[in-house]
Amino acid sequence: MNPSTPWWSSSVVYQVYPRSFADSDGDGYGDVRGIIDHLDHIAGLGVDVVWLSPIFASPQDDNGYDIADYQAIDPMFGTLADVDELTEAVHARGMKLVMDLVVNHTSDEHAWFVESRDPASPKRDWYVWRPARDGFEPGTPGAEPTNWGSFFGGSGWAFDEASGEYYLHLFSRKQPDLNWENPEVRQAVYAMMRWWIDRGVDGFRMDVINLISKTHPLADGAVNPGDPYSFEIERVANGPRLVEFLEEMNREVGITEKRLFTVGEMVACDLEHAREYTAREHDRLGMVFTFEHVSLDHAGGKLSPIPLHLPDLKKNLARWQEGLAEDGWNSLYFENHDQPRSVSRFGDDSPEHRVASAKALATVLHLHQGTPYVYQGQEIGMTNAGFTRIDQYRDIEAVGMHRQALEAGVPEEQVLAGLGAMGRDNARTPMPWTPEGGFTTGTPWLPLNATTASVNVADDVADPDGVYAHYRRLIALRRELEVVRMGAFELLLPEDEKLWVFTRTLGDERLLVVANMSSHAARVPLAELPSIEDAELLVASVHPGTDLQTLAPWDARVYRLRA
């Protein structure tokens, strides 16, 4: 490999959502000790990096994405000593540990914000405080400083009785946005990041990091018909000082110098932005998470899902492959704690096709160029939660969206169907370690998936044809073959609605990936593909028939072509 190629370009990341991973003390919530206890499950996949969703002190309004103290562990998850032990255990297995960095906002219970509530405090300017709109009585309808909406519904501004002013919160009202224009805020964040690095952490996944620079002065945005709030994303995302802040952070924390892992989660991040943020000539970010490919099946919003049109997904990924081929770097993901389960969304979660479709999805994703992410449970083909009533949901976004949609007159049936398909709790049901559950000895904070008796770690791992074994194979293949890491990508048959076909080429090494992404047999137009004569079959999602002419449902194959 080119020595200037960063180490993570050969890595695979496993994301742990701690509250749902493993509960060691019976309180119904996963914890750090639970992760330590199950570390071999993760290491056994062959991954290189473990990313933990937030475990810091938090009122848990947004499951820990509302942080009250960046340097303390929430008692529900354990202690700092537990985290030190986890860090050591991760390193002992040759893996790296990446923390979630949530610094667009804090909790309203963070000491910084508590202080900031006092208009006379030196920390007043650490958050985004504004008086009521000109000519409006503070606290009355329409008096918010701008018409911005919050991602979780309602206005993006909360009124503070005591001072008569408003503070900005792009997420819940318990998640006030930090004012990154203030250099003291930035230095405090960098100091905290250095503190974690000194404790042994190897990098950060940066939550909504492209929202830290807003367009000033803050002003009303365009409004869609029928919507009281503006979501003109340009006003809050990819702002004029973002690059400056990212470079400053990189320098002050020593990100490039210490070869730390970074991935920036970015709403409204297109290819041009991604290139700008990840180009290697600059010291900004290692890679970004875009939302483009996980928004293709949303019509109006995420509560109005539409069936996925396979060509859209293939072509979107291909565009990013080409766009970041020469410079920058791709992250590759189908799932995380905010997205529904991919086997339910892009695959077929019926008992007949679940395993094969999970394996086919894994095959296509892991044969792209970039850093693949495996979200806990994906490696055993977990399905959506299957909730049918609002009282089953815990997610602040789901509860808020449900309330708002009902207020707007949307029939509840439709709302529940939307949440059932796209809601975030779909991916947050506890890890089913055994057919009986095995997540907790107490009452789990969110019900286990109803499929646990048949979809669980013990059964899947024991099956040589299971999903876990397939992931192991794919991850090993990335390690073994430079063409998987570095080969040029070419999408074939882009308009085919069932087949996902591409090649990877590096020198005279060439791979052909052919996948039937449907629950019906598919004919392969062999004449339009490179010949597989004498090719070696490296990976197959189902026991393949002898020829490639007709593919069984969810039959995904990787061939190494003869030079």
Q: What is d(CA 40, CA 94) in angstroms, rounded to the nearest whole number? A: 12
Residue 63 beta carbon to ligand TEU: minimum distance, rounded to whole angstroms: 7
Sign of CA dihedral 249, 251, 252, 254: positive
Q: Are 423 and 489 in contact (CB under 8 A)?
A: no
Residue 424 beta carbon to ligand TEU: minimum distance, rounded to whole angstroms: 6
Select 237 or 477, whichever has its Cβ closest to ligand TEU: 237
3-state secondary structure of 241: coil
252 as an active site residue: the answer is no
Select 174 or 368, whichever has its Cβ closest to ligand TEU: 174
Residue 557 beta carbon to ligand TEU: minimum distance, rounded to whole angstroms: 33
> Residues 6 or more apart from 165 whose CB is under 8 A from it?
119, 129, 130, 131, 132, 138, 159
The partner residues of 105 in beta bridges, in order of sequence, read 177
Residue 289 beta carbon to ligand TEU: minimum distance, rounded to whole angstroms: 9
Residue whose structure tokens are 């499950």 = 41
Q: Which residues bind ligand TEU (CB under 6 A)?
A: 62, 65, 102, 151, 171, 207-208, 265, 267, 302, 337-338, 397, 424
3-state secondary structure of 550: strand
H-helix or E-strand containing 205? strand 203-206
Select 26 or 301, whichever has its Cβ closest to ligand TEU: 301
- For residue 363, give the nearest of 340, 334, 384 by alpha carbon: 334
Select 208 or 287, whichever has its Cβ closest to ligand TEU: 208
Select 266 or 361, whichever has its Cβ closest to ligand TEU: 266
Select 22 or 211, whichever has its Cβ closest to ligand TEU: 211
Q: What is d(CA 218, CA 381) in angstroms, rounded to the nearest whole number? A: 44
- The active-site residue, picked from 160, 265, 397, 460, is 265
265 as an active site residue: the answer is yes
Q: Outline where DSSP puts E strands in 82-185.
A: 96-101, 129-130, 157-160, 165-168
Residue 66 beta carbon to ligand TEU: minimum distance, rounded to whole angstroms: 7
Q: Outline where DSSP puts E strands in 437-540.
A: 488-492, 499-506, 509-516, 522-523, 536-540
Position closest to ligand TEU via CB: 65
Q: Outline where DSSP puts E strands in 258-352.
A: 261-265, 287-289, 331-332
Residue 400 beta carbon to ligand TEU: minimum distance, rounded to whole angstroms: 10
Q: What is d(CA 492, CA 494) in angstroms, rounded to the nearest whole number? A: 5
- The active-site residue, picked from 207, 335, 397, 555, is 207
Q: Are 392 and 385 in contact (CB under 8 A)?
A: yes
Select 62 or 160, whichever has its Cβ closest to ligand TEU: 62
Residue 158 beta carbon to ligand TEU: minimum distance, rounded to whole angstroms: 15
Sign of CA dihedral 277, 278, 284, 288: positive
Select 176 or 328, whichever has its Cβ closest to ligand TEU: 176
Select 208 or 360, whichever has its Cβ closest to ligand TEU: 208
Phi-psi region for residue 409, left (φ > 0), alpha (ψ -120 to 50) or beta?
left
- For residue 144, give the nearest of 173, 111, 167 by alpha carbon: 167
Residue 104 beta carbon to ligand TEU: minimum distance, rounded to whole angstroms: 7
**No. of helices (H) and no. of strands (E), the chain:** 15, 20
Q: Are 396 and 62 in contact (CB under 8 A)?
A: yes
Residue 65 beta carbon to ligand TEU: minimum distance, rounded to whole angstroms: 3
Structure tokens at 546: 């002898």
- For residue 13, give the nearest of 289, 258, 397, 408 by alpha carbon: 289
- For residue 392, give the nearest of 412, 413, 419, 418 by alpha carbon: 419
CA distances from 152 to 149, 169, 199, 398 (A): 8, 10, 34, 8
Select 237 or 367, whichever has its Cβ closest to ligand TEU: 237
CA distances from 255 to 100, 246, 247, 561 (A): 15, 10, 10, 39
Q: What are phi and psi of 24, to 5 degrees?
A: -90, -15
Residue 172 beta carbon to ligand TEU: minimum distance, rounded to whole angstroms: 8
- Give catalytic residue positions: 207, 265
